[in-house]
Structure 1
Amino acid sequence: MLNRSTRSTISYSDTNSFSKLVLDYLSGDEKLKPFYNLFPSIDSFKTAIDLKSKEKTNRELLVKVLEQQYLDIDASELVKNNIKSLLDKNTYTVTTGHQLCLFTGPLYFLYKVVDIINLAKTLNQHYPDHDFVPIYWMVTEDHDFAEINHAHVFGKKIEWVKEVAGPIGRIETTSLESIIVELEKVLGDHENAKYLIGLFKDSYLKHDNLAKATQYLVNELFGEYGLVILDPDCKELKNEFTDIIKSDIIEQTNYKLVNETIDELKSAGYHDQVKPREINVFYLEDDLRARIVEESGKYQVLDNEISFTKEELENELEKNSEKFGPNVVTRPLYQEKILPNLAYIGGGAEVAYWFEYKKMFEHHNIAFPIIFLRNSVMVLDEATQKNMEKLQLIETQLFKDENTLIKEYVEANSNEEITLKEEMNAMNEIFVKVVKKTEYVDKSLVGMIMAENKKQVNAFNNIEGRLRKAEKAKFETEQNKINKIKEKLFPDGHLQERHDNFITYYMRYEKDFIGSLIEHLDPLEFKFTILK
């Protein structure tokens, strides 16, 4: 059981799974320093607090909206207190954002949430004169349904097939009833299965849309730890952001500033993660999420008859701000405008795109938050650990490709030396002598001799390959164990955390799974975590 779990860590660089930008950032590389404000350390928060305290955040409105959004949620006392504490100028937030993935999606969503919970806890201990609240910013206005409509459970893909238009947070969820029935068949009648199926029915079948369903589900999993969940698809909150929306559409300064920063990142040896558009705002209705483009002096909703003059646009923004939604470029501005936020925790791709935005933040006089890389975790069950012990595999070897791992194992455990390097060297020496003799007699023959040498090298390589194959066949049982380990830890060739859903682990470990994550994940450590 994971209530007796242990952990170990390895360097991110040893996993071969993280970009140069991320590794350089965590090592404090000088080339990246112009692209962020403060390095992610506990001491940096002193400066972050000072910078954010100079901004005017509408705390009263934020608390009012949160209390409205929690009316139908059974919030813990800790969540209620956290929401109320946001009225206090000495309370700040740490935030992560994520799409509304079916059944929470891949495991790494849990790791992001646990990281902000643990970061807030550490900050509360380190800065006792302030309070820190973990916020999950639901990405309710996204449109990529294919990215969020499935979950991998015990090797089976559970998929919600549906025609969708408009922001995903507004999608009705009653059509998930048949999907939950399908999941029930996969999980069986175990007590843990009954709990999860009940949870999903309460989440998806008793709420109007995916935003409310996800809020309910995530609160059930993390409410006891004080996590506050915010739906930004809200007219009152967007009223606070209309000046920046107007600036993006009319002046298009964000487009220019982000492109300037991308050019600087490329000059420093990095590639762009997100390409800004001239206008980084969508027009929204329940069944519509479309880009706005400027055409012939008017602002046109793409592939639609809706269009505005400058004056009409300003009027529409003032009256119907809920119809305008940020894209991946302007969403961080919206988040940091609305929240008294100090830090954002995200994956490698998120870290990369935040680095494109610093100039944009400076232009709008909004403090650039401290950017943290979320923890990455690999869970090793007992069977995997036993197989690793039998094979004498160490954790860093797990990140090598399967063929390399098998080859190394065979070489390390074979009684016979399966290399012909010595013999090949001896053969090459003979050919060197033959060439020297030939040069005295007829230099025109040297090319023919070298070609023969190459032919013999190829023959030796072929023989060596056959020897390896024959030796490898003696280790069929061990190969199968290596294959099983790799498939379990890297399903479909992906990191476990980017594929598997938490259901698989909750079925085995119950609440101990989340409890172990809370116990073991340290967002300030910057190491890849192995959980056993």
Structure 2
Amino acid sequence: MSSPPESTVHRTSPAALGAFPDLFVDYCTNFSAVSEFYAGDWQSQSARRTAATAAAQRPADRDVLADTLLDQNERWGLDERTRAHIETLRDPDSIAVVTGQQVGLFTGPLYTLYKTITTLQLIEEWADQTGRPVVPVFWVEGEDHDFAEIAAAHVLHRNEVVPLSYDPGVADNPGAVGRLALTDDIHEAVDRLDEALPPSDFKPAVMEHVRAAYEPGTRLEDAFARLMHSFFGDDGLVFVNPDDPRLKALARPLFRRELEAPEASAAQVNATSQALRDRDYHTQVSARPTNLFWLGDDSRRAIDWTDDDTFRLRGTNRTFSESELLDRLEAAPERFSPNVVLRPLMQDHLLPTAAYVAGPGEVSYFAQYGGVYDWAGLDMPLIHPRASVSLVEGKVQKVLDKYDLTVANFQADLAPLFQDVVVEAMEVDVDALFSEALPQLHQALNALKPKVETVDRTLGASTEATRSAIMDEMESLKQKVVRAEKRQQDEVRAQLRKAHVNLRPNGTLQERMVNVLYYLNKYSPALLDDLRHALQPDTSAHQVVEI
């Protein structure tokens, strides 16, 4: 397909979708309301120059970083532009625009791709505004231990959501999931994907990329990075896997600070969290001492600081003194893994991160992190919201046009919209009909009441009871009329349901559920390039793209 013309992209307020927290909406549309919780205005050129200056001074060791990245990216398909970007990171003036995501099956939901597209869009913009070399970096997050979070993907098939799962029967806590080697069970997930995707001119190439990445014996993090590289191979995107002894060694000072003062970072996060709650904002993260995990051979366990000044691996009786853990950190830093609080700090300790491209949840938790960045002696990067997008296929646009609807009309629950559309389409205006009848009934009862009270004063209460009963019966009759009309509107129901499944599958936003392979199979892998041209790097609004 060719690049969508500008007229096919529409912008709508994120608040209109009813799917984002107030903090994120304010961040996108009213930054001054939340500015005290962030490093700077993500849209300000002066803030960008300040963030770039701080970022350039930050990396722990650029040469070790670059050498490690060259080794890692060789595994995933190192192209010349990526190699050049990695070499650029040796330049002390260079900065990075970073994003990242868990290693979801087949790259997970669409938002993984939107994060990447936004990151790539910002490179030239930041270079022009800061006068510095800018490198796009993708943080491959494979250290989480919740396998269920990354073991499923979803595509659409005949306007139904089809779940695709990879189930090799791993333990509840298998350790860093990215390290797990794919078993032969991956064939079942890939075959199910093949069955769900309809035949198309693009299917052979799409499935070839998937099968080449997701082979038995390949680690999950490597499969994820290889498939992502196949999507963006010409863009110089640099992937980084933090689960590397060389990078963990560079992160020792941060981890040591956490172990030597295990309550400090959590106290900073919790103090800011209270300030957010005082402003009626939600808090995304709850911190506790410490913010580190121990990576064993078969599990990943939180390191809890106890009242007797020792450390315990959560769920076990294994304990350490501070000196014992510090000795282990010196000897084997790869055994330590940051949690959601320390992860971005490790990232920005290693990389010259000037901007981080974040989803709504990440934007929210960065609001809690200002104090902990200060504690770590780091400058928080600017947080740029990723593109939030709804893709509207022609079959869905026809439904929207027919009933004069927009994407924002489709909320989590379809029932209210269906009723509104049915009522609007009814030849009889039910609301008007009953609105006209009710005053007449009230008027008749008002006239009747004094007359019956002349016969017996106690009958006034009976009149009011009768009024209440009549009103209940009228409302019941109204709903019966609406339901009868609904039964006659099977076509309307089917069309709205089709649009709802495509725009709000399982009640959630399309970008949080549907995998990109559904669209690449149907519209060509060139769709990603089309989106890079169609989407705007000003991500303050939700973008609706007709395809």
TM-score calculated relative to the size of structure 1: 0.94
CA distance, structure 1, for counterparts of residue 310 and residue 413 of structure 2:
54
Letter in 2 for 1:203: A
Secondary structure at 1:232's aligned position in 2? coil
Secondary structure at 2:417's aligned position in 1? helix
- Taking a change above 3 Å as real, the CA distance of residues 197 and 531 of structure 1, as seen in their structure-2 partners, is same
Residue 358 (structure 1) shift = 0.4
Are residue 243 (structure 1) and residue 257 (structure 2) matched? no
On the 8 A contact 1:257/1:360 being kept in 2, the answer is: yes
Match of 1:25 in 2: 27
Are residue 98 (structure 1) and residue 101 (structure 2) matched? yes
CA distance, structure 1, for counterparts of residue 79 and residue 149 of structure 2:
31
Letter in 2 for 1:19: P
Match of 1:405 in 2: 417
Q: What aligned pairs does 1:268-279 form with structure 2 within 5 A after superposition?
A: 268-279=279-290
On the 8 A contact 1:414/1:471 being kept in 2, the answer is: yes
Residue 436 (structure 1) shift = 5.5
CA distance, structure 1, for counterparts of residue 224 and residue 406 of structure 2:
38
On the 8 A contact 2:59/2:351 being kept in 1, the answer is: no
Residue 407 (structure 1) shift = 2.3
Match of 1:313 in 2: 325
Flag as ranges the 4+ runs of structure 1 deviating above 6 A.
438-442
Match of 2:146 in 1: 144
Match of 2:303 in 1: 292
Gaps of 5+ in 1: none
Gaps of 5+ in 2: none
Letter in 1 for 2:34: L
Which shows bigger deviation, 296-305 or 320-329? 296-305
Q: What aligned pairs does 1:321-360 form with structure 2 within 5 A after superposition?
A: 321-360=333-372
On the 8 A contact 1:170/1:286 being kept in 2, the answer is: no
Secondary structure at 1:158's aligned position in 2? strand
Residue 112 (structure 1) shift = 0.8
Q: Percent identity?
A: 27
On the 8 A contact 1:31/1:268 being kept in 2, the answer is: no
Residue 304 (structure 1) shift = 4.0
Match of 1:115 in 2: 118
Which shows bigger deviation, 461-470 or 136-145? 461-470
Q: What aligned pairs does 1:418-433 form with structure 2 within 5 A after superposition?
A: 418-419=430-431, 420-433=434-447
CA distance, structure 1, for counterparts of residue 198 and residue 494 of structure 2:
28
Match of 1:458 among 466, 472, 492: 472
CA distance, structure 2, for counterparts of residue 454 and residue 67 of structure 1:
77
On the 8 A contact 1:40/1:524 being kept in 2, the answer is: no
CA distance, structure 1, for counterparts of residue 453 and residue 132 of structure 2:
85
CA distance, structure 1, for counterparts of residue 454 and residue 24 of structure 2:
59
Match of 1:156 in 2: 162
On the 8 A contact 1:2/1:509 being kept in 2, the answer is: no
CA distance, structure 2, for counterparts of residue 397 and residue 64 of structure 1:
50
Which shows bigger deviation, 485-494 or 457-466? 485-494
On the 8 A contact 2:410/2:504 being kept in 1, the answer is: no
Are residue 387 (structure 1) and residue 389 (structure 2) matched? no
Secondary structure at 1:343's aligned position in 2? strand
Aligned residues, how many? 531
Letter in 2 for 1:72: R
On the 8 A contact 1:249/1:280 being kept in 2, the answer is: no
* CA RMSD in angstroms, aligned pairs only: 2.2
Match of 1:233 in 2: 243
CA distance, structure 2, for counterparts of residue 50 and residue 432 of structure 1:
77
Match of 1:39 in 2: 41
Match of 2:522 among 508, 511, 516: 508
Residue 81 (structure 1) shift = 1.3
Q: Deviations over 1:268-319 (max 9, x none)?
A: 1112211112111000033221111234443222334643222221111111
Match of 1:65 among 64, 68, 91: 68
Which shows bigger deviation, 484-493 or 474-483? 474-483
Letter in 2 for 1:149: A
Letter in 2 for 1:237: L
CA distance, structure 2, for counterparts of residue 38 and residue 345 of structure 1:
14
Residue 239 (structure 1) shift = 1.8
